């Protein structure tokens, strides 16, 4: 009985939570411009999305492209910068370490809008014209702390003697780094990279303040401007549906694998 | 080994330039007028502007209500999900976590469209419901995480010693899960108090929150006033983060 109520609550909550996306998904199969207005089954919005023949021209496509390219660059640079930094921080002591950890926490604790406004003021102050480069720099700023925090625990767990042993056995510091340290840090780097990538994909506020006035759009800023103009581009409906399904399938696969691995280990 | 502490140097320079300096600039701009002279005028303007003060109060109210609702709805859900007798499926957990991975603007837009279609009047009601939609997963996940990792022997010991299930829940499980609740509060309250786009979507621009005012000022070139408002928000955030003494929880809740 208790189990029934528990399951009932969980599924009720899920149905309510997922109602909007189901609604979008259903209406991605009709052509009408206004949501909620069913004008017969059609997959035209889907084909439009792939051929690029859509309402509002190709600006949605370029926004998607910008989003992915920026996320890729930001995540890659953050992973490299953050990993090197984590090795440095791990080898530091006392005040200096505290100070860096404190600074490293700020972008994570700060609300996006503060990060955005503060970086906007920085670029104004330095007279840097804002666009692609400033957006990428801003994304690296809020992504790197997550990489640092993903890699640091791997360093703490590591037995320092392993690295020393490699050096004693004649490895150069570079070989020791490549053959001993990096493989041990890899899981942390990968989860840091994934985290950074998704943070960047998801960002709206920071991009909004640092993109300048040259009309650079990522998916978030595109949606924002689009929705403010009153009408949502119909092709966003199939796109939202595809993204939801893609991420859902990915997460379910990852989690089922994890569960299976845990069961096998036990 | 020690020499490698210098590896942190590039990142230190980066942090000073892109984290410390920008925050200092907020303070500098906040205390300057348009000509770069020192002034308290921006703050005087804020505290005498009843509209701005009302918006500020409303933002706090909405953020508190949203956080409270998320705890109320999210704690039982997290508890059930973490309880192996009540929930065996890993898929339900994924379903709760998934929205965290989707662009918040998209989710909000979908919610707003649904409200619209249901014929709901967009306003404060839809604003709060929509925010609960957006932020509930961020409350459930950290609480679930901590409940799931909790050593079950504490609860067993309590019931062996004669505690009723209700007492076990309130006296053992709830206190032990507080770190999860606190990081949930951080992940819900802070974004809500500082949001701007989400509130615009959910109320069709009828209700302005504090974030919207900051954005409008910055975008219309009123940098100094915008910086002063940002500083006010930073103070609120600073007070909230005092709640959380253990910074490690922040990243634990995230992945």
Indicate the domain borders of chain B. 58-210
User: How confident is the model at residue A266, as a pLDDT?
Assistant: 65
Residues A29/A42, Cβ–Cβ less than 8 Å: yes
* Residue of A97, A70, A71, A72 lying closest to A85 (CA atoms): A97
Report the percentage of chain A scoring pLDDT > 70.
96
Contact B23 A118 (CB under 8 A): yes
Contact B197 A205 (CB under 8 A): yes
Residues B55-104 have pLDDT tens digits of 999 999 999 999 999 999 999 999 999 887 777 777 788 888 888 777 78
Residues A126-176 have pLDDT tens digits of 999 999 999 999 999 999 999 999 999 999 888 888 888 888 998 888 888
**Residue A158 near chain B (CB below 8 Å):** no
User: How confident is the model at residue B89, as a pLDDT?
Assistant: 73
Tokens of residue B96, six digits: 């709760």
Residues A32-46 have pLDDT tens digits of 877 777 888 888 888
Measured between beta carbons, the chain A residues lying within 8 angstroms of B227 are 117, 121
Contact A100 B97 (CB under 8 A): no
Asked if the model's pLDDT at residue B127 lies above 60, the reply is yes
Which of A13, A111, A219 is facing B237, going by the closest CB pair?
A111
User: How confident is the model at residue B250, as a pLDDT?
Assistant: 45
**Residue B6 near chain A (CB below 8 Å):** yes
Where is pLDDT greater, at A206 or B206? A206
User: How confident is the model at residue A55, as a pLDDT?
Assistant: 63
Q: pLDDT grade, residue B248 (50/70/90)?
A: very low
HSE toward the beta carbon, residue A2, CA cutoff 13 A: 9
Residues B5-32 have pLDDT tens digits of 788 899 999 999 999 999 999 999 999 9
User: Cα–Cα distance between A206 and B182 in angstroms, integer?
Assistant: 25
What is the architecture, at CATH level 2, of domain B58-210? Orthogonal Bundle (1.10)
User: Cα–Cα distance between B176 and B154 in angstroms, integer?
Assistant: 10
Interface of B with A in 24-53 (CB under 8 A): 25-26, 29
* Residue of B44, B42, B47 lying closest to B31 (CA atoms): B42
User: In angstroms, what CA-CA distances link A176 with A1, A169, B10, B214, B232?
Assistant: 59, 10, 22, 50, 49
Q: pLDDT grade, residue A120 (50/70/90)?
A: very high
Report the percentage of chain B scoring pLDDT > 90.
37
Residues B218-230 have pLDDT tens digits of 988 888 999 999 9
Interface of A with B in 186-225 (CB under 8 A): 191, 195, 198, 201-202, 204-205, 208-209, 219-220, 223-224
CB-count burial class (<10 Å; 0-12, 13-18, 19+) for B41: middle
Contact B109 A227 (CB under 8 A): yes
| ipTM tops the 0.90 cut | no
Helix (H, G, I), strand (E, B) or coil at B33: coil
Asked if the model's pLDDT at residue B251 lies above 50, the reply is no
Interface of A with B in 82-111 (CB under 8 A): 82, 84-85, 87-89, 91-93, 96, 100, 103-111
**Residue A59 near chain B (CB below 8 Å):** no
Measured between beta carbons, the chain A residues lying within 8 angstroms of B77 are 9-10, 13
Which of B25, B80, B116 is facing A125, going by the closest CB pair?
B25
Which of B110, B200, B201 is facing A23, going by the closest CB pair?
B110
Measured between beta carbons, the chain A residues lying within 8 angstroms of B191 are 111-112
* Residue of A197, A217, A215, A199 lying closest to A207 (CA atoms): A217
User: How confident is the model at residue B3, as a pLDDT?
Assistant: 66
Residues A71-81 have pLDDT tens digits of 999 999 999 99
Q: pLDDT grade, residue B245 (50/70/90)?
A: low
Where is pLDDT greater, at A84 or A258? A84
Interface A:B, Cβ pairs < 8 A: 235
């Amino acid at each position: 009985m208790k189990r029934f109520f528990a399951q009932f609550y969980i599924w009720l909550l899920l149905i309510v939570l997922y109602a909007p996306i189901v609604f979008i998904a259903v209406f991605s199969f009709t052509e009408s411009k206004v949501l909620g207005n069913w004008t017969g089954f059609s997959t035209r919005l889907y084909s439009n999305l792939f051929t690029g023949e859509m309402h509002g021209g190709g600006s949605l496509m370029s926004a998607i492209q910008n989003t992915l390219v920026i996320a890729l660059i930001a995540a890659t640079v953050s992973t490299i910068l953050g990993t090197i930094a984590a090795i440095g921080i791990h080898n530091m002591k006392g005040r200096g370490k505290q100070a860096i950890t404190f600074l490293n926490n700020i972008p994570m604790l700060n609300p996006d809008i503060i990060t955005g406004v503060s970086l906007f003021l920085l670029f104004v102050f330095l007279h840097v014209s804002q666009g692609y480069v400033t957006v990428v720099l801003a994304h690296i700023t809020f992504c790197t702390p997550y990489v640092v925090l993903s890699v640091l625990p791997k360093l703490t767990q590591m037995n320092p003697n392993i690295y020393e042993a490699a050096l004693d056995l004649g490895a150069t510091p570079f070989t020791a780094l490549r053959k001993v340290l990096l493989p041990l840090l890899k899981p942390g780097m990968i989860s840091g990279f994934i985290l950074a990538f998704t943070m960047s994909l998801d960002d709206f506020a920071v991009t909004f303040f640092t993109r300048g006035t040259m009309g650079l759009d990522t998916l978030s800023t595109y949606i924002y401007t689009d929705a403010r103009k009153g009408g949502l581009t119909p092709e966003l409906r199939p796109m939202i549906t595809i993204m939801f399904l893609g991420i859902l399938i990915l997460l379910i696969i990852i989690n089922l694998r994890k569960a299976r691995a845990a069961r096998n280990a036990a | 080994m020690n020499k490698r502490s210098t590896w942190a140097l590039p990142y230190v320079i980066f942090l000073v330039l892109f984290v410390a300096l920008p925050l200092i600039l907020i303070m500098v701009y906040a205390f300057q007028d348009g000509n770069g002279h020192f002034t308290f005028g921006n703050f005087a303007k804020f505290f005498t502007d009843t509209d701005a003060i009302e918006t500020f109060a409303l933002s706090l109210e909405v953020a508190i209500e949203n956080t409270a609702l998320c705890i109320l709805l999210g704690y039982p859900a997290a508890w059930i999900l973490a309880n192996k007798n009540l929930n065996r499926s890993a898929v339900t957990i994924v379903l709760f976590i998934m929205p965290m991975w989707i662009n918040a603007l998209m989710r909000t837009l979908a919610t707003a469209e649904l409200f619209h279609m249901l014929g709901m009047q967009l306003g404060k009601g839809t604003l709060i419901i929509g925010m609960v939609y957006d932020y509930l997963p961020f409350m459930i996940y950290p609480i679930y995480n901590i409940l799931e990792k909790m050593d079950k022997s504490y609860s067993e010991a309590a019931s062996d010693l004669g505690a009723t299930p209700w007492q076990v829940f309130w006296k053992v499980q709830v206190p032990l899960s507080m770190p999860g609740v606190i990081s949930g509060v951080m992940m819900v309250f802070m974004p809500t108090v500082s949001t701007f786009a989400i509130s615009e979507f959910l109320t069709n621009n009828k209700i302005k929150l504090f974030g919207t005012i900051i954005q409008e000022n910055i975008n219309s070139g009123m940098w100094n006033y915008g910086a002063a408002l940002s500083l006010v928000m930073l103070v609120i955030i600073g007070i909230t983060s005092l709640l959380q003494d253990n910074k490690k929880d922040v990243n634990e809740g995230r992945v």
